[in-house]
Amino acid sequence: MNPPPVSSSARRRKEPAPCAECGSTSRVARGLCLNCLLNEGLGGDTCNPETLEDMLGKIDVRDADWRLGNYQILEEIGRGGMGVIYRARQRHSRRIVALKRILSYHADSQETLVRFRREAEAAARLDHPNILPIYEVGDNDDGLPSFSMKFAAGGSLHEAAPALHREPRRIVALMAKVARAVQYAHARGILHRDLKPANILLDGRGEPLVSDFGLAKWLDATSELTQTLAIFGTPGYIALEQASGSAGKITPAADVYSLGAILFYLFTGRPPFLGEHALAVIQQAAEKPAPKLRSLAPTLDRDLETICAKCLEREPTARYRSAGDLAEDLERWLAGHSIIARPVSAPVRALRWSRRNPAFAGMTALLLVMGAAVGVMIWKGEMATPPVSSGIAVLPFESLSPDNENAFFAEGVYEGVSTKLAKLSDLKVISHNSVARYRGAHNTQEIGRALNVAYVLEGSVRRNAGRIFLNVQLVDTRTGTHVWTESYDRNSNDVFAMQTEVAQKVADRLGAETSSTEKAAIQEPPTADLVA
């Protein structure tokens, strides 16, 4: 950067006349001695002139037309442990930019200078619509490095989080783009390692921009900088392997964890782990699994809980294989499709718990063995009881009209209801081949015992003059009682909607939980052609 011209007024400020009372060169306003003013205000006996002079020497008073190289500084908009960020105007293009400048008291720190230049270098290598672009890198006339970048007028995700809290689709859409940007950086050999809501900015159109690559790590190189606690990331948003300080073990899975923590924060208003200080947060993450998303936000979809849990797994290999896979699952959820991730099964959870608690797990296993032995002894002494019935069998619907065409129609209505119920993962539905031989049978208790199901759905269909007449009954096979009955009189064109309604009511009666994806699958008609 070219140094700005020094005006005569600037020279006068740099070379003020010493104070007649104390000899200080620190002046404010119209030449008043700042040293004497503060000394008088604090009390002459309590203020050490030499210490006060040292403190005053660090004060950097800027005028309203302060410039850094080719930029006019408008206001300070952010400050961190390493640098300060200004909103500035480029002198020739008049473009508004964000200008980041290293803090003056870090000028002698080689480590901080390397980190500062690392951020500019890493971001400059990445050209992606959702990564904050770098415009210009250089040194100021005072020798301190700085770089200009796009000004994000929308603030950060941290600031926008309260407004986004009740917009899960908006959150997912934003984070899918962020995950794509992180995957782009990974593909070019760069890990971010400090992803958090404050480092995801929003432009004037609300588009996300990944920023602050100050802790970036090249995948094809090692760095001694990773050994200091000052740069290991932000507690609450970093993976356990990153908090341990083992730089060589950090993989793209660490950034995937951070993306999951940001998702968790946007949905719930807090990171997965909380504590009074950084070490307390890290200790919680090491000892406990991340809380379930819906334990804090019960209205959210189960698939979103599964996605967050997949990101926040403590073992890197158990997370999404890449940020791109996370983005794909988020995009699938937005489109109403089934996600790739699946909840961790109970046996896997038990295995992980036993690894963390070997002594207690051994005692539990011993008790289980003893309990099993006692159970076998009791079973041998008594007659074994049959297993508890579960699931539902949808019997072929009876046609109440003699013509073959209506029989085909009744078969179609039956198959539509059975197919929709089979799409619910929380409901066991007996296959068509198994129930076909019970067509016309009415002894539901016998059918329940034969198929080992707790419920049977049976019905009859009649079509006449463009209308459909459907009667359905949901029967408890253990008692023979009718749990639910309904009669429908609908236009023939409403047959698909009627099938959906029957399937949904049966699911509700049986208490089957349905995700948003499953609801969409139930409501989707098999064809738009009624004749077909």
Q: Residue 80's pLDDT is what?
A: 74
Q: Residue 292's pLDDT is what?
A: 95
pLDDT higher than threshold 90 for residue 492: no
Q: Which residue did the predictor score with more confidence, 102 or 225?
A: 102
Q: Residue 112's pLDDT is what?
A: 76
Binned at pLDDT 50, 70 and 90, residue 27 comes out as: low
Q: Is 317 domain-assigned?
A: yes
Rounded percentage of the chain residues whose pLDDT exceeds 70: 75
Whose tokens are 């004749």? That residue is 531
Q: Residue 64's pLDDT is what?
A: 53
Taking residues 517-526, report their average pLDDT.
78
pLDDT higher than threshold 50 for residue 9: no
Q: Is 38 domain-assigned?
A: yes
Residue 516 belongs to a domain with what CATH number? 3.40.50.10070
Same domain, residue pair 173 and 230? yes
Residue 188 belongs to a domain with what CATH number? 1.10.510.10
Q: Residue 203's pLDDT is what?
A: 94
Same domain, residue pair 333 and 430? no
Same domain, residue pair 205 and 328? yes
Among 88, 120, 150, the domain boundary falls at 150
Largest distance between two CA atoms of the chain: 119
pLDDT digits (tens, 9 = 90+) for 333-386: 999 999 999 865 555 455 544 554 566 656 666 677 777 777 666 656 544 444
Among 313, 343, 373, the domain boundary falls at 343
Q: Residue 10's pLDDT is what?
A: 37
Range of the domain at 187: 157-343
Q: Is 48 domain-assigned?
A: yes
Same domain, residue pair 36 and 82? no
Q: Residue 164's pLDDT is what?
A: 94
Q: Residue 327's pLDDT is what?
A: 97
Non-local CB neighbours of 186 within 8 Å, separated by 6+ positions: 219, 252, 255, 322, 323
Q: Residue 483's pLDDT is what?
A: 84
Same domain, residue pair 402 and 504? yes
Query: How far is Cα of residue 350 from the mean position of the Cα atoms in its chain?
Result: 25
State the first-to-last Cα distance of the chain, in angstroms, to the nearest integer: 73
Among 343, 370, 403, the domain boundary falls at 343
Binned at pLDDT 50, 70 and 90, residue 26 comes out as: low
Q: Which residue did the predictor score with more confidence, 274 or 368?
A: 274
Cα separation, 215 vs 116, in Å, equals 9
Taking residues 249-277, report their average pLDDT.
93
Taking residues 477-501, report their average pLDDT.
85
Helix residue ranges per DSSP H, 383-489: 404-422, 432-435, 444-451
Q: Is 364 domain-assigned?
A: no
Non-local CB neighbours of 446 within 8 Å, separated by 6+ positions: none
Q: Is 166 domain-assigned?
A: yes
Same domain, residue pair 404 and 500? yes
Cα separation, 338 vs 518, in Å, equals 8
pLDDT digits (tens, 9 = 90+) for 223-253: 433 333 344 678 889 998 888 766 567 899 9
Q: What is the mean pLDDT of the chain?
A: 79
Q: Which residues pair with 210 in a beta bridge?
A: 131, 200
Same domain, residue pair 183 and 213? yes
Q: Is 363 domain-assigned?
A: no
Strand, coil or helix: 55: helix
pLDDT higher than threshold 50 for residue 179: yes
pLDDT higher than threshold 70 for residue 424: yes
Same domain, residue pair 281 and 324? yes
Same domain, residue pair 222 and 87? no
pLDDT higher than threshold 70 for residue 7: no
Cα separation, 448 vs 380, in Å, equals 27
pLDDT higher than threshold 50 for residue 8: no
pLDDT higher than threshold 70 for residue 46: no
pTM over 0.85: no
Residue 141 belongs to a domain with what CATH number? 3.30.200.20
> What's the total number of domains in the chain?
4
Same domain, residue pair 507 and 470? yes
Binned at pLDDT 50, 70 and 90, residue 157 comes out as: very high
pLDDT higher than threshold 90 for residue 34: no
pLDDT higher than threshold 50 for residue 12: no
Cα separation, 415 vs 153, in Å, equals 55
Q: Is 273 domain-assigned?
A: yes
Same domain, residue pair 126 and 272? no
Q: Residue 287's pLDDT is what?
A: 85
Q: Residue 13's pLDDT is what?
A: 38
Binned at pLDDT 50, 70 and 90, residue 268 comes out as: very high
Q: Residue 3's pLDDT is what?
A: 42
Q: Is 128 domain-assigned?
A: yes
Residue spans of beta strands (DSSP E) within 374-523: 392-394, 398-399, 455-464, 467-476, 481-491
- 203: annotated active-site residue: no
Residue 338's identity, in one-letter code, is S
Same domain, residue pair 125 and 231? no
Catalytic residue, chosen from 54, 63, 194, 220, is 194
| Closest alpha carbon to 459 in 479, 480, 488, 432 | 488
Cα separation, 167 vs 175, in Å, equals 12
Cα separation, 298 vs 306, in Å, equals 13
Cα separation, 239 vs 241, in Å, equals 6
